[in-house]
Amino acid sequence: MNANQSPRTCQQWTAQATTLLSKIDRNEPMTAGQALATLNDAAMACEQAHRLDTSSADCLYRWGRAHLLASERAGNQADASWRLARLSGAVWAFEQALVRDSQHVGALLGLARACAAEADLLSAGGDSPTTTAALDMALGRSADAYRRAYAAQLAYKAIVGRSPPSTPVDESPLGAALHAAEEASASADEDVTSADALVNTVVALAGVLSRMAELCADRDERIWAQAADSLYAQADELLGRAAVEVPECYAELMAERAEVQADAAKTFAARRDITEPTLFVRALGTFQQAIAAAVDESGMAPADLYFDLGDLYHHIADARLTETDAYVECCDSEEDAVAVRENALRTVILPYFAHAREAYRQGVRAAPGNAVMQERLGDACFVGACVALNDAEERHLLAEAEHWYRSAWAADAEDDEVVARLAQVCHRQQRAGECAALLLQWSALGGGLQDLKHEDNVFLPEFVAQAAVIYHGWMSLPHPSPRHHPSCRSFLARSVHAVLVRPPCQSALSPTARVLFRRFYILRLHDNFATTISAVWPVHRSALLGPLATKQRRIPMHGRTGGARTTNGRVGDERVIGTGTHVHIQSAFDNLCTRARPQLFLLVGRQPVSLFVRSPHDDTTINTLTAGRYMAPATLLAG
């Protein structure tokens, strides 16, 4: 057909729709609006084809695909009612195609996908009886369509060894053009007998069955609990049979089967309110089989398998730890509580946490640059440290946790969650200064206190409470001199320090350092030079980042002085800082400077802090205020 001619027959309209759909299937570059317009044109072409030949299953199948892809492409940006309307159109078209050809695999798979997508939208619509009934029906239709599709796929594979054609291909020029258009579309629905296509269908069906099981498990009646067990068993058996029928994908199918078994065990344990590790023996064994089958020449399996295995070990240990803590609180005597907790730690909790760490380590070795895996390994080490039976093991695991958190942070510098995890390690080790500095960075990256509370079993309640004090004490002070603010007193008494570097120009500052420079504080030094941050006084001064105008070098000291030594005001003052003395950093910046810009270093460690200003012309110290022993900086936030 000439490109300038309008289609006249059903096959011509169908060929045009196939060409338009192929642009979407090949992910040709286009905007969301262009993609939606293309799919609308494809749907209109299919409608024209259907008017000319109502018996064509193929044009109905493509009509359904146009509606389904439009709903999927629109995503959450479109109104739910609009998406449901498109999905209803897709369901109708696929069902009509199956009326004309009951074994049309593409229509069966399309119907299953459309019903599953319909269930996704319905699940967000509330828990009314009408919605629940519609959700159950959509999932049931999806599962039925997937079952029929998989049976048809296997039948076609056994008989012809290739994908079933969507329409008979004739030898005429028009038939050849239509066949070429179909081949060009490269639709996943048209290649239905490859190993990947078979596995996709089985995994999708198992997912629908598991979701139906979860819905049943959430209902109280006993009959629904039995239905949940039956659905999990169906998914388990389906994946086991598929692993035999598609041996080239054995490892992938066994991994999916292990997840189904783990979900079934978790559901059963939650219903019976028990945390027996033997419930997970089958799932753990299946994961091990999947890993053994997936090992390559390097001796490693895909990292995801180790990740899932580690998660399951971690879940078992964490569930038993939660149960043990609840039981211990109810014990009549302290001796009984100690005995119960130690027995649980030695028999289940510590061994399973150790297994989880080893699985995550294998995953990190399989994917060295995976920040998520490194963060998860850090979590396992930190939790293990919190329940360690001796101090040496706790220190070792905390050090390992910090190592993996820092590795994850290096791999993903914008991850605010890993910064909060690092802060928690510092809090556990009583490194209050570094904890506070990390929480400032965490806030600068977009972290919020609610994020800490919503993380599953990662952040301990005592750290969340302390983080709130730190966060509000440093970032939300109600007035300029809040020495008597209760939250500040409880927090500032812990000798909290900051890590700060002032380079010669603003352009060299990292975004995090700029945030810190806009929030600086008064330093209070006592007679014994033990340092605490006393009154947090934010300084919003352009002088902190720009050129300093005044030429004075003298640091004003408010309060008692002793042993003062001044050399014509050029070297500066060295004073013994007495009780109640405060160094007002804002005044210091205004008055201690030269024509060129000096550099301020506030170095921090586990010991008290040293503040000094270096000349930009040489390495001599213009003025030094020392509180306690000098420590190397723990973190450098500039550059």
Neighbours of 156 (CB within 10 A): 18
State the pTM of this model. 0.67
Average pLDDT over residues 133-137: 89
Provide the pLDDT for residue 360.
95
Provide the pLDDT for residue 456.
58
197 burial (CB, 10 Å; 0-12 / 13-18 / 19+) is buried
Provide the pLDDT for residue 69.
92
Average pLDDT, the chain: 71
Token reading at 578: 């007495």
Cα torsion angle, 252, 255, 261, 265, sign:
negative
H helices of 278-413, in order, are 281-294, 303-329, 334-344, 350-366, 371-386, 391-411
Q: What are the CA-CA distances from residue 399 to residues 271, 367, 404, 411 (Å)?
A: 38, 21, 9, 19
Position with higher pLDDT, 634 vs 443: 443
For residue 429, pLDDT beyond 50: yes
Q: What are the CA-CA distances from residue 524 to residues 333, 532, 545, 629 (Å)?
A: 46, 6, 24, 16
CB of 432 within 8 A of CB of 496?
Answer: yes
Q: Residue 4's pLDDT band (boundaries 50, 70, 90)?
A: low
Helix (H, G, I), strand (E, B) or coil at 600: strand
Burial 6-23 (b: 16+ CB within 10 A, else e): ebeebbbbbbbbbbbbbb
Provide the pLDDT for residue 168.
41
Q: What is the pLDDT of residues 357-400, one digit of tens each?
A: 999 999 999 999 889 999 999 999 999 999 998 999 999 999 99
Token reading at 576: 């013994």
DSSP-assigned letter for residue 29: S
For residue 232, pLDDT beyond 80: yes
Provide the pLDDT for residue 542.
30
Closest CA to 378 of 415, 432, 324: 415
Convert 407-444 into a string of H (helix), E (strand) and C (coil). Answer: HHHHHCCCCHHHHHHHHHHHHHCCCHHHHHHHHHHHHH
Give the Cα separation of 71 and 118 in Å (integer). Answer: 10
Provide the pLDDT for residue 304.
92
Provide the pLDDT for residue 117.
92
Give the Cα separation of 68 and 120 in Å (integer). Answer: 14
For residue 537, pLDDT beyond 90: no
For residue 524, pLDDT beyond 90: no
Average pLDDT over residues 441-461: 75
* Backbone angle region of 572, left / alpha / beta, with phi > 0 → left and psi within -120 to 50 → alpha: left
Convert 61-101 into a string of H (helix), E (strand) and C (coil). Answer: HHHHHHHHHHHHHHHHHCCHHHHHHHHHHHHHHHHHHHHHC
Position with higher pLDDT, 515 vs 331: 331
Provide the pLDDT for residue 623.
31
Position with higher pLDDT, 428 vs 512: 428
Q: Residue 473's pLDDT band (boundaries 50, 70, 90)?
A: low
Q: What is the pLDDT of residues 278-332, one digit of tens each?
A: 999 999 999 999 999 999 878 889 999 999 999 999 999 988 988 888 888 777 7
Helix (H, G, I), strand (E, B) or coil at 613: strand
Token reading at 118: 């319909």
Q: Which of 23-27, 175-179, 291-295, 527-531 has the lowest mean pLDDT?
A: 527-531
Average pLDDT over residues 103-111: 91
Computed on alpha carbons and rounded to an integer, the radius of gyration of the chain in Å comes to 33
Provide the pLDDT for residue 353.
94
**Which amino acid is it at 263?**
D
Q: What are the CA-CA distances from residue 179 to residues 57, 102, 182, 507 (Å)?
A: 15, 22, 5, 61
Provide the pLDDT for residue 451.
73
Position with higher pLDDT, 524 vs 515: 515
Q: How far is CA 117 from the centre of its chain?
A: 23
Average pLDDT over residues 574-585: 29
Give the Cα separation of 75 and 627 in Å (integer). Answer: 59
CB of 488 within 8 A of CB of 474?
Answer: no
Provide the pLDDT for residue 471.
62
Convert 126-192 into a string of H (helix), E (strand) and C (coil). Answer: CCCHHHHHHHHHHHHHHHHHHHHHHHHHHHHHHHCCCCCCCCCCCCCHHHHHHHHHHHHHCCCCCCC
Token reading at 602: 């506030």
Provide the pLDDT for residue 219.
81
Q: What percent of the chain has pLDDT over 70?
A: 66
Token reading at 21: 């759909």
CB of 310 within 8 A of CB of 380?
Answer: yes
Q: Residue 189's pLDDT band (boundaries 50, 70, 90)?
A: very low
Provide the pLDDT for residue 544.
29
Give the Cα separation of 321 and 349 in Å (integer). Answer: 6
For residue 632, pLDDT beyond 50: no
Burial 225-258 (b: 16+ CB within 10 A, else e): bebbbebbebbbebbeebbeebeebbbbbbbbbb
DSSP-assigned letter for residue 218: T
Average pLDDT over residues 432-437: 82
Provide the pLDDT for residue 145.
93
Provide the pLDDT for residue 328.
82
- Enumerate the β-bridge partners of residue 625: 611
Token reading at 366: 């399989």
Average pLDDT over residues 259-266: 94
For residue 615, pLDDT beyond 70: no
Provide the pLDDT for residue 523.
30
Average pLDDT over residues 583-599: 35
CB of 263 within 8 A of CB of 210?
Answer: yes
Provide the pLDDT for residue 191.
67
Token reading at 142: 């999806």
Give the Cα separation of 360 and 352 in Å (integer). Answer: 12
Helix (H) or strand (E) holding 531: strand 531-532
Helix (H, G, I), strand (E, B) or coil at 102: coil
Provide the pLDDT for residue 127.
72
Q: What is the pLDDT of residues 61-89, one digit of tens each?
A: 999 999 999 998 887 777 888 999 999 99
Q: Residue 493's pLDDT band (boundaries 50, 70, 90)?
A: very low
CB of 46 within 8 A of CB of 17?
Answer: yes
Topology at the third CATH level for domain 295-412: 1.25.40
Q: How far is CA 4 from the centre of its chain?
A: 51
For residue 175, pLDDT beyond 50: no
Give the phi and the psi of residue 206 in degrees, each rounded to 5.
Answer: -60, -35
Q: Which of the residue ranges 314-323, 334-343, 357-366, 545-554 has the most confident prediction, judged by mean pLDDT?
A: 357-366
Q: What are the CA-CA distances from residue 12 to residues 15, 187, 233, 600 (Å)?
A: 5, 19, 47, 76
Give the Cα separation of 334 and 329 in Å (integer). Answer: 9
Domains of the chain by residue range:
295-412, 428-496, 498-626
Token reading at 534: 């006393």
Q: Which of the residue ranges 151-160, 401-410, 545-554 has the most confident prediction, judged by mean pLDDT?
A: 401-410
